[in-house]
C-alpha cells in the first residue's frame, strides 16, 4: 500500500509516491508508511472491549446500510468485527503459491502469534492476483498474471482459524493506465493541463488512474465486492490518493476537490463491501495527519465510512525532528506513539479504527526484532492492540521473534489515548476524548478559516497557541522525496 510518512528533511526531488510498497530491488518513493486489523479509536469503538469483540471471522457481523460520504450525512454502523487484537502479515499475490514465504505466516497463525493474512488482490503494477470476473479486468487483461485460486486461498486461511484481508492498490494502476492510453480512454487517467496523461515522476506516465471516473471507480469497487463475496473478511484500499505534485486534471470531477472525490469513492465502496459481508478500510500516509491536501487524504472525511484506517508510520519514513523526535529511525517507539496519537484523535466521532502498518524491514539501518517490538508496544500504549507487518518481500522472519502468542493478557485492549496538540506536533496524550475532540475541531476550523489571527487552545483558553505548528511538520521537509530502494 504504501504511504504514510514524510521523508528525511535532506531528501528532496521528484514526485514521490511516498510509498512503502515495491519489492526488494525496485525503486521506492519515500514518504509514507502503512494497514488493517481493528482497534477502537472512534467514539463508537471505545465501548468495543467486550469479549465478543475479539471473536474470530465467523462472528463478524457486517452492516449493509450505506455509510456517509464527505457530505456529512449520518454515519451507518459499518460492521461490528473485532475492535482490537488483529495481527497480520502482508504477502504479495504472486508470493502466495510460494511455500517458503506462505508457510512461515501460516506457522505463526498456528502458534497464535498472528491471526490475519493480508493477501493482495491488485498490486502496485495493476495485476489482479486471481481470475477475476470483473468486466474491466477481463477487457484490459489485468488478470493475465493471476497467481492464486481465490476460493482455495480463502479456504486455507479460514481453515487455519485466521482472517484474510485483501489489499487493492486503487489509483496507482499502470496496467489499466497503459491500456486506457492505448485504447482511447483518456478520461480513465489523471491528465496534465494539456490533456495528456500525467507524468507522475518515477511512477511514470499514465501510472495513476482517475478517481473521478465512473468506470475506474466501478473497476476498483467491483474487485472489492467480488473478493468480499468470495470470503475475504476485509478489503483495504491502498493508493487512494492523488500524486503529490500539482498540474493535475481529473476529468469528471466537477466542483469536488480531490479530497472530496476520494472520500466519496470510499463511501461508495464501503457500502457495497459491507453488503457483501466484509469490512472496509484504507491505507493512508502518515503525513495525512497534518498535510491532507498534499495527497488528497482527508482523514476525518475518509473515516466516516470506514471500519479501519491503516496509517503507514514506518520509522524510516519520517524526517528528523518530526513530532519532536530527533532521529525517528533510531527511535521507533517514540515516532510510532506520537504519530498514532494524532490518528486516534482524527477519527473521533466515527466508527473507524486505527490499525497501523509496522516496519518489518531493515532500511536505512539494520533493524531487529526489538525494533519491531518497540513499534508494536508503542501502538499498544496508545490503545491499539493491532498491527500489520510490512515487508515488501513477503517475509516475516525479522519481526517473528517479537510476536507474542495471543491469550487473555496479550488480547486485552489498551486505553485509547489522543493527541492534545496541533497535528504534527508532539503530545503526551490524553484519555479525555471530549477534550481531544474539542481541540481538534477547533484546530480544523481554524485551518478551514484560513488560519486568520492566532489559534487559541479551547481546552486552555488563557494560553494562546501560535498560528502555525511548531514542529518540523511545517518545515520544508514537505518537499517531494527522491526514489530510494527498500528491501
pLDDT bracket for residue 21 (50, 70, 90): very low
pLDDT bracket for residue 75 (50, 70, 90): very low
d(CA 241, CA 259): 8
Comparing 16 with 162, the larger pLDDT belongs to 162
CA atoms within 13 A on the CB side of 43: 12
Is the pLDDT assigned to residue 153 strictly greater than 70? yes
Question: What is the model's pLDDT at position 414?
Answer: 79
d(CA 3, CA 253): 24
CB 91 within 8 A of CB 119: yes
3 state SS of 131: coil
CA atoms within 13 A on the CB side of 61: 6
Q: Tell whether pTM > 0.85.
A: no
CB 189 within 8 A of CB 181: yes
d(CA 417, CA 397): 31
**Which of 23, 1, 30, 16 has its CA nearest to residue 283?**
1
CA atoms within 13 A on the CB side of 457: 16
Is the pLDDT assigned to residue 475 strictly greater than 90? no
Domains of the chain: 27-485 (3.20.20.80)
For residue range 25-37, list pLDDT tens digits in order. 222 333 333 333 3
d(CA 176, CA 179): 5
**Which of 145, 188, 137, 171 has its CA nearest to residue 19?**
171
For residue 50, what is the DSSP state? S
For residue range 275-334, list pLDDT tens digits in order. 999 999 999 999 999 999 999 999 999 999 999 999 999 999 999 999 999 999 999 999
pLDDT bracket for residue 408 (50, 70, 90): confident
Q: What's the whole-number average pLDDT of the chain?
A: 82
d(CA 339, CA 313): 7
Q: Tell me how crowded residue 483 is: count the other CB atoms within 10 A of its CB.
A: 19
CB 307 within 8 A of CB 281: yes
CB 237 within 8 A of CB 282: yes
Interval 171-195 mean pLDDT: 98
Amino acid at each position: 500500500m504504501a504511504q504514510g510518512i514524510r521523508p528525511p528533511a535532506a531528501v528532496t526531488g521528484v514526485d514521490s509516491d511516498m510509498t512503502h510498497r515495491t519489492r526488494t530491488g525496485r525503486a521506492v518513493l519515500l514518504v509514507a508508511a502503512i494497514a488493517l486489523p481493528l482497534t477502537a479509536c472512534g467514539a463508537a469503538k471505545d465501548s468495543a472491549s467486550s469479549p465478543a469483540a475479539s471473536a474470530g471471522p465467523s462472528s463478524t457481523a457486517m452492516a449493509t446500510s450505506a455509510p456517509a460520504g464527505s457530505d456529512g450525512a449520518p454515519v451507518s454502523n459499518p460492521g461490528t468485527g473485532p475492535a482490537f487484537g488483529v495481527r497480520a502479515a502482508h504477502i504479495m499475490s504472486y508470493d502466495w503459491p510460494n511455500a517458503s514465504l506462505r508457510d512461515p505466516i501460516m506457522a505463526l497463525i498456528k502458534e497464535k502469534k498472528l491471526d490475519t493474512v493480508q493477501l493482495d488482490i491488485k498490486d502496485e503494477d495493476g495485476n489482479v492476483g486471481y481470475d477475476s470476473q470483473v468486466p474491466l479486468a477481463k477487457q484490459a487483461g489485468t488478470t493475465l498474471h493471476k497467481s492464486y485460486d481465490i476460493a482455495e486461498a480463502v479456504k486455507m486461511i479460514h481453515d487455519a482459524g485466521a482472517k484474510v484481508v485483501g489489499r487493492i492498490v486503487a489509483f496507482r494502476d499502470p496496467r489499466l493506465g497503459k491500456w486506457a492510453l492505448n485504447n482511447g480512454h483518456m478520461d480513465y487517467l489523471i491528465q496534465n493541463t494539456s490533456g495528456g496523461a500525467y507524468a507522475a515522476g518515477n511512477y511514470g506516465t499514465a501510472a495513476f488512474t482517475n478517481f473521478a471516473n465512473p468506470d475506474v471507480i466501478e473497476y476498483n469497487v467491483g474487485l472489492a465486492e467480488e473478493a468480499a463475496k468470495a470470503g475475504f473478511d476485509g478489503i483495504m484500499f491502498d493508493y487512494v490518493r492523488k500524486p503529490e505534485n500539482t498540474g493535475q486534471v481529473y476529468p469528471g470531477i466537477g466542483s469536488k476537490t480531490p479530497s472530496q472525490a476520494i472520500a466519496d469513492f470510499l463511501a461508495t465502496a464501503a457500502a457495497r463491501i459491507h453488503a457483501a459481508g466484509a469490512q472496509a478500510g484504507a491505507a493512508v500516509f502518515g503525513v495525512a495527519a497534518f498535510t491532507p491536501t498534499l495527497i488528497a487524504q482527508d482523514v476525518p472525511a475518509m473515516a466516516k465510512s470506514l471500519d479501519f484506517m491503516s496509517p503507514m508510520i514506518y520509522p524510516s519514513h519520517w524526517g528528523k525532528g518530526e513530532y519532536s523526535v530527533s532521529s525517528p529511525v533510531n527511535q521507533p517507539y517514540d515516532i510510532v506513539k506520537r504519530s498514532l496519537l494524532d490518528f486516534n484523535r482524527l477519527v473521533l466521532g466515527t466508527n473507524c479504527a486505527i490499525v497501523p502498518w509496522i516496519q518489518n524491514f531493515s532500511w536505512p539501518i539494520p533493524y531487529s526484532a526489538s525494533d519491531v517490538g518497540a513499534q508494536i508496544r508503542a501502538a499498544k500504549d496508545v490503545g491499539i492492540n493491532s498491527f500489520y507487518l510490512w515487508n515488501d518481500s513477503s517475509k516475516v522472519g525479522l519481526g517473528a521473534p517479537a510476536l507474542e502468542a495471543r491469550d487473555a493478557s496479550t488480547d486485552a485492549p489498551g486505553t485509547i489515548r489522543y493527541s492534545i496538540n496541533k497535528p504534527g506536533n508532539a503530545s503526551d496524550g490524553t484519555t479525555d476524548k471530549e477534550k481531544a475532540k474539542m481541540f481538534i475541531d477547533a484546530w480544523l476550523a481554524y485551518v478551514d478559516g484560513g488560519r486568520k489571527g492566532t489559534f487559541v487552545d479551547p481546552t486552555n483558553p488563557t494560553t494562546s497557541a501560535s498560528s502555525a505548528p511548531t514542529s518540523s511538520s511545517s518545515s520544508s521537509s514537505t518537499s517531494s522525496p527522491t526514489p530510494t530502494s527498500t528491501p
